[in-house]
């Protein structure tokens, strides 16, 4: 019996209201409260490709954020941006616990004037490093958020636990815990409020993990070594460059 070719057909279904894509305005109403959302509709509106390769937890596209900060600060593709340790940072003693943050932007700006906190009245810009000794602070694991939230509050006078300020400080959080025998190394790269929550500007979105991405981790290690060396000579006010190796990884 010969095969009969049947005419192809298509079925058209009408989407009900509950399956319609929300408008940008509707989306933004719930964006801040949804920790699982990684990409912003604004990326699509601006036709910006911001996802790139993802090698681990932390910020979804740290290389994009890094390049954007460099451009805003006036650094060229092959130039290495300048980092600076806040003069409000505490001096380093190997047996004490510390918490720290590398700040990239405040309220979406890569250059700012600190309006509150210990740094009040001073200018700041991307790759601003602040480290504080936590001896005597309320006992709490750094990754749960209390320690890092207090750090930002002390240094910048911004309460990131307040819903009005959530996500306004774009940064990476870390800690130094030499007396914690459960860790394989003293440096910890976990922070729920600084690494696991979306922050502005674009590039500050996160995958929802408390641990920093591999790029952020490399930058933290670099800044931590600089912090230790400068602490011994009391030279926090001296700026230093991002390492060539890190810059080469992130510049393209």
For the chain, the first-to-last Cα distance in angstroms comes to 62
- Of 156, 147, 146, nearest to 118 by C-alpha is 156
Q: Is 0.85 topped by the overall pTM? A: no
The CA angle 216-103-224, to the nearest 5 degrees, is: 55
Q: Express each pLDDT in 179-198 by its tens digit.
A: 888 889 999 999 988 999 99
User: Residues 6 or more apart from 120 whose CB is under 8 A from it?
Assistant: 114, 157
| Residue 110 in tokens | 């890569």
What was the pLDDT predicted at 155?
94
Q: Express each pLDDT in 30-56 by its tens digit.
A: 433 333 333 332 332 232 223 333 444
* Regions in the chain scoring below 70 on pLDDT: 1-57, 139-145, 252
Whole-number Å distance between alpha carbons of 179 and 94: 10
């Amino acid at each position: 019996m010969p095969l009969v070719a049947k005419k192809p057909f298509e079925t058209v279904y009408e989407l009900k209201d509950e399956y319609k894509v929300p408008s940008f305005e509707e989306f933004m109403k719930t964006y801040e409260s949804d920790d699982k959302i990684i990409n912003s509709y604004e990326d699509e509106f601006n036709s910006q490709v911001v996802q790139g390769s993802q090698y681990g937890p932390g910020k979804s596209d740290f290389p994009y954020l890094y390049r954007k900060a460099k451009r805003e600060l006036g650094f060229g593709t092959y130039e290495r941006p300048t980092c600076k340790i806040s003069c409000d940072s505490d001096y380093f003693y190997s047996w004490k616990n510390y918490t720290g943050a590398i700040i990239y932007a405040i309220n979406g700006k890569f250059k700012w004037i600190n309006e509150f906190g210990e740094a009040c009245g001073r200018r700041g810009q991307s790759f601003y490093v602040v480290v504080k000794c936590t001896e005597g602070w309320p006992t709490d694991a750094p990754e749960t958020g209390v320690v890092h939230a207090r750090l930002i509050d002390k240094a910048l006078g911004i309460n990131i636990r307040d819903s009005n300020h959530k996500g306004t400080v774009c940064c990476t959080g870390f800690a130094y815990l030499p007396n914690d025998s459960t860790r394989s190394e003293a440096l910890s790269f976990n922070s729920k409020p600084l690494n696991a929550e979306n922050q502005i500007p674009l590039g500050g979105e996160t995958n929802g993990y408390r641990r920093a991405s591999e790029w952020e981790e490399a930058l933290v290690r670099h800044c931590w070594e600089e912090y230790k060396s400068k602490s011994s000579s009391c030279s926090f006010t001296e700026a230093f460059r991002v390492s060539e190796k890190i810059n080469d990884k992130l510049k393209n």
